[in-house]
Amino acid sequence: MIIVITGPQSSGKGTQAEILQKEYGFKHISTGDILREEVKADTLEGREADSYMKKGLLVPYDLNNTILKKALDKYKDKTILLDGYPRTLPQVEHLMKIAEVKCVIYINISDEVAVQRACNRRICTATNKIYILDKLTPQDYETCKLAGGEIVQRTDDNPKTIKARLKIYHEQTSPCLSYLEKHKIPVFKINGERPIDAISADVKQELKKIKLI
């Protein structure tokens, strides 16, 4: 069973998915995180994906479907919070064929806020935890170091690449929402330009309405 979590870059999907994973035992799967792991491990797939990711482009579908299948098979007994997939109409069609999509949590922010947040975002290379540059503490650096990582800026979190990613988001990912709605999948639209707790409260309210929590 799948809950899709979607929205523009830096809308806070990962943060909300982590909250739901912690509180309800769902499994958060981010295709971006999986691909970054492949890049880090310098696998064949990772090397191929890296050249696309650096430019803010989507990696080829086949590569992604392999990675997706592996992740979905591994956690088939859990409710999965799928983050970063589907991003195109062929991907959403594929997903609807192979899995039961229960609903979509759609966290929306403006492009302006997306660019600003992404430039201010840092990531721990060991845990993939996201940090906000202005709010980083010495403790955060220490925690990441203890996990064996470093706090860095993603290579695709620069204004030029974020704009390219947003363009793809509007042209190719947004249409997936209409597709899902047409196929009677509930899409919960949530304003992501608010504090984390307020967004989380809305997400939980919607999931309660359809008895997923």
Site for ligand AMP in 34-63 (CB under 6 A): 35, 52-53, 56-59
User: How many residues lie near ligand AMP (CB under 6 A)?
Assistant: 18
Which residues neighbour 129 within 8 Å (Cβ) at sequence distance 6 or greater? Answer: 123, 144
User: C-beta of 52: minimal distance to ligand AMP in Å?
Assistant: 5
Q: Look up residue 170 and give its amino acid.
A: H
Residue 129 or 165 with smaller CB distance to ligand AMP: 165
| Per CB under 6 A, 72 contacts ligand AMP | no
Which of residues 6, 16, 64, 200 is near ligand AMP by CB under 6 A?
Answer: 64
User: C-beta of 76: minimal distance to ligand AMP in Å?
Assistant: 19
Locus of tokens 């925690």: 143
User: C-beta of 91: minimal distance to ligand AMP in Å?
Assistant: 6
Nearest-5° angle of CA 98, CA 67, CA 160? 115
Q: Give the H or E element holding residue 189.
A: strand 187-191
Question: Strands, DSSP E only, in 59-172?
Answer: 80-83, 101-108, 121-124, 130-132, 151-152
Which residues neighbour 174 within 8 Å (Cβ) at sequence distance 6 or greater? Answer: none
The residues annotated with a catalytic role in the active site are 13, 87, 121, 154, 165
Q: Which residues bind ligand AMP (CB under 6 A)?
A: 9, 30-32, 35, 52-53, 56-59, 64, 84-85, 87, 91, 156, 165
